[in-house]
Each structure stands twice: as structure tokens, then as C-alpha cells.
Copies of this chain bind each other. A is one copy, B any other.
Amino acid sequence: MNTGELVDLGQQLRVDSVRASAAAGSGHPTSSMSAADLMAVLLAHHLRYDFERPAHPGNDRFVLSKGHASPLLYSAYKAAGAIDDEELLTFRKLGSRLEGHPTPQRLPWVETATGSLGQGLPVGVGIALAGKRLDRTDYRVWVLCGDSEMAEGSVWEAAEHAGHEHLDNLVVIVDVNRLGQRGPTRHGHDLDAYARRFRAFDWHTVEIDGHDVDAIDRAYGEALSTQGQPTAIIARTLKGKGVEAVEDREGQHGKPLPEAEEAIAELGGARDLRVRVQEPPAARALHSAGTGETELPRYDKGDEVATRNAFGEALAALGTARGDVVALDGEVGDSTRAEYFAKEHPERYFECYIAEQQMVAAAVGMAARGWVPFATSFAAFLTRAYDFVRMASVSGSGINLVGSHAGVAIGQDGPSQMGLEDIAMMRAVHGSTVLYPCDANQTARLVAEMAGLEGIRYLRTSRGGSKVIYGADEEFPVGGSKVLRSSDEDRLTVVAAGVTVHEALAAADALERDGIRVRVIDLYSVKPVDRATLRQAAEDTGCLLTVEDHRREGGIGDAVLDAFTDGRPVPRLVRLAVETMPGSASPAEELHAAGIDAQSIEAAGRMLVEQAIVP
């Protein structure tokens, strides 16, 4: 396209953004209009993409980090012939694929769900890493960001990661339109403020007028020819560009234009330009082959093995069997035992340093390219990435997260290092799976199994050794549980998981010595939960006691309730959980102080059986 045609295409994208938002009665046309020329030139001259084959391995990848500018994205899809005008005007309506913020659950051309700002670039870094180190295909990753979102620390985690990894297949375009949601941004039109930050993180930068299509074209060309560094194109733009009533004005964020018809006329009226987007180059298939046979580690009953160790060994074995498994860790691989994988499969291991948001985002990016990522940190520190986990579920992304050092059982390091909210956090994520093994063989089996699931899969591991209580051939289906003690005379069911399983068994022994038979259930699958077994236990024993190394709220006790909310009678219930703020102490002292050790279970169980009120 020549200059005039590119200008025209930009105007068309503006007009269609205005039209879509007007039809919806809501949306972000002004945020779309600032970036319209940047998008027009990308689409017409630089993007290599086959809209009919979004899975084509050679396709460039485009991420709209400023997801609220979805009208611009959908207008570009229309210009590329991927959607028609009728569909464009379904924007934001019930059942439409064209949501307020784009998601890959609905549209095959969207790489990741955006709408929580500061996430597009970190996910783009993950895709670019996959391109360089896994797919080894020379697609480009283009990320369009807003200027407001530069305030998010996750953007600088991503900048650091990309600069350090020399991701010259990554281009970020910052649409500096000066205005955030509620008014001016921190840096206004000071392009150099952004450029010098990116340069400090070892990026190549180009500053341009984001409405000069020739300058944009040259900048993209410069980015494509830059070796050894990612490129940030810092573009000065005007929000609402092209319509005087809204252009560069405050108070015009996130609403349709006041006079859509006049605005469209001012923009030169509706057009129907079509862009022939460049074909991607031929590219080879993904993934290195594995052996296909997973030889999981096997542990002897009675040995003491930490579940984090079993996780590491199982992950390394899984990596041998499956060439599509990759691992990422937040600079604690020696603790999480992800380093066992790193030693066996260094080419598929990603050190993310202490940047949990970037770690999860990179996993999402790699999953978008068909890889099966395991991202690991302390369970406590995965809270850092909660918004990324939440958005991963909006994307429908399939990622494995593993949190080590769960609960007060870690001992002396104290509460800052204790994962005590992780189950609540992960259970609340839509479509998630939450697993919490109590021994090494169970851990190994669950690692292999979780890799094959959909959605967000979370495994919780423990720091200290646990006695191996299951044989190496035992199976642990997700959604199941194990009944470890059972008799016809059971008067109480104790439901435990992870470290408390061993405490529950000891408590059951003690109660049995007093003639109180106890059923013990190992609830290794916290979500989904084994409703049938819990229901049966409740019917058989009349009462349930749950015990967990986690906060009372949102954890195993709450999960058990899932079995009893269909309107049928509910058993008598008591929950034991961590209800104090722990300090430093030995693991055994911590369990006792929190009231979740064998002695506490025994005491509460006795009261429950005696139908006393448990304080």
C-alpha cells in the first residue's frame, strides 16, 4: 500500500471502531483511534499471518495488551477478511465472539486474553521465548501496549527478561496517547521517559509520530532488522485522533463517541478497504519427540521422602517421556526441585529469576504455542501472580503451577514463606484443578496426570519428608480420594490432605486405642472433590472432621462442602485449620501450635463423636 492507502486504512479502522462501539452502546473507541495508524501499517506491511490457519507454525503473533482497544482489533480482523461487517456490529452483545476484551476462548486469532493491563507484554515474552528456544521458528511477536500500563511492574519484569534473553523476535509498540482512564498519564507525551527506561533494560528503541504512516513503516522495518535486542517503538499519538470533539480530550475514555454519525463523516465516511495480509513462511512442526514412555520414579513404602523431591524427579521423568513439557522457575529451583528437570532438560528449562508474574505469563505464552509448561515457586509466592492466573483461566490456558513449602509445616522460616492461602486462591479460579499429595508415589502419579488436563492445574508440595504410604503402582485419578482406614464401626471420618494425612492416621490410631474407630480419607484431589466417597463416609459415620495446613477459609474444609450442597442432608462437621499467625518454630511445634497435629485431631474428634460443641 502507498502512503495514501495506509492513511485511508487507518481512517477505516477508526470509522469501524466508532461504528462498533456505537452499535454496542459501550466500548473504547478513543483508545482504538490513537493506535489505528500503528495497526494499519502493521497489518498491511509487516504482519505475516494466515487468518484461515491461526495454528500455522510460521504465523507472526500479535498481542493487544491494551485489550480495551478491542474495537480496533476487530476492525483489523474485518479489514483482513477474517470477520464480516455484520459480525463487527455484534460487538459486546450476548453470544458474540467480539467481547469487550478479546479472548482466545472465543476467537482463534487471539493469543491471550487481555483486559488486565500490563499482561500482554509478559505473555508476548513467553511466546517470543518459545519462538527462540522451543519452536525455533522465526515468527515475530508484536505487542501493542498502552502508555498507562507502563506503570505496571509486570511490564518491567518483561522488559528485563526480554532484554536479558536478547529477544530480537519481539517488538513492543507503545501507543503514547497521553491520557489514561481518569486523566493524564504520569509522563504525558514525554516519549523519552519511556524510551530511556526500555534502553536501560537493554532494548533498542525508536521514537516516532504514531500518526505518520511512513515513519511507522520505517520503525517496523528498523525493528525487524535489529539483531540481538528486542525493540520498543514509542509512538506519540492522540487519543480519539481524527474527531475534534474527542481528540486529545479528557473524559472521553471508555465510552462511545457522543455523535457517531458526525464523527464518521469527519473521518471521511465508511470505507471497505481489504488488506491482503502477508503469508507466513513455511515452518516445521513443533516439539521435540520424547520417549513416549513415562518412567516415573518409584519409592519404597516406609521411606521418608519430601513431596517436593518426588515432584522434581517425576517432572524430570515426564520431560524425558514428553518432548512438549517445559519448566519455568522463579529462582528457587533448588527449593522447588525444578532443578531436577533443569539438569536433565536444560534446553527446556527457563530461569525466570524472582519475577513470578513474568514466570506465569511466560507459561501462558508457551502454552499458547502448544507447549505444556510447569511453573514453580513457593506456594506463598504464587500469590504474587494471582491476576495472571486469573487471566490465564479467562484465556482457557492450560498451565501447570506447582507451589512448594506449603503451610506451617515448613517450620522456622516463618509466615512470610508459608503458603496458607494458595488453595483458596487456586480453587476460586474457574475450571482449575487443585491437587495436594501426601506421599512421594502419589506425587509422582499426580504430576504425570496433571500434565494431561485442561485449564489451570495446581499441585501443592511440602518441604519436609513424609512417610511413603502408597505403593508405586497405586493410581490416583483426579477427582478421587483414598480411604486409608475404614470399618463398619467407624464413628467419625477425618478428611485430610498432604501433611495432615499423616497426623490423621496417628490420631486414628490413638482414638482406636480408646475404642473409637475412625475412617481416614486422603483428599489428594481438592478440586474436583470426590463427592461420592465423602457422602458415603458421612452417611456411614455421621460426622466429618476436616484438618488442613491452610487457612480455614477457602481450603479443604470448604472444598468438602462441595459434596453436600445438593439439598440432601449434611453431616455434622468440624474443621481444623490454621487460625493464628504462626511464628518461627520447628515443623512439629508449628503443627501443634496451629492445632492441626495428631493430638489436636484426636481431641476434636473425641468431642465430635461425643456430640459436644467444638469451640
Contacts and interface: CB of A to CB of B under 8 A. Distances in A.
Contacts of A561: 557-558, 561, 573
Copies of this protein chain in the complex: 2
Contact of A566 (B93, B579, B613): B613
Given A94-B589, A151-B353, A416-B115, A583 B428 contact: no
Contact of A95 (B93, B155, B583, B615): B583
A613 B568 contact: yes
A413 B101 contact: yes
A269 interface: no
A91 to B, nearest CB: 8
A585 interface: yes
A554 interface: yes
Contact of A117 (B24, B151, B354, B613): B354
Interface residues of A, number: 120
8 contacts: A93-B585, A94-B593, A393-B581, A421-B425, A567-B574, A567-B614, A570-B570, A570-B571
A430 B551 contact: yes
A199 interface: yes
Contacts of A335: 181-182
Interface string A207-230: 000000000000000000000000
Interface of A: 24, 26-27, 67, 92-96, 98-101, 103, 105-106, 113-118, 148-149, 151-157, 160, 164, 180-182, 185-186, 196-197, 199-201, 331-335, 339, 353-355, 357-358, 380-381, 383-384, 386-387, 390-391, 393-394, 396, 412-417, 420-421, 424-425, 427-431, 527, 543, 551-555, 557-559, 561-562, 564-575, 579-581, 583-586, 589, 593, 607-608, 611-615
Interface centre among A92, A95, A114, A571, by most B CB within 10 Å?
A92
B387 A567 contact: no
Contact of A425 (B94, B185, B424, B589): B424
A613 B164 CA distance: 57
Q: Closest 10 CB pairs between A and B?
A: A153-B153, A115-B416, A554-B554, A200-B200, A424-B428, A156-B156, A94-B585, A570-B570, A151-B353, A427-B553
B551 A428 contact: yes
Contact of A101 (B24, B414, B425): B414
Nearest to A607: B567
B567 A608 contact: yes
A186 to B, nearest CB: 6
Nearest to A575: B565
Given A96-B583, A185-B353, A567-B614, A331 B553 contact: no
B148 A99 contact: no
A196 B186 contact: no
Contacts of A568: 572, 613
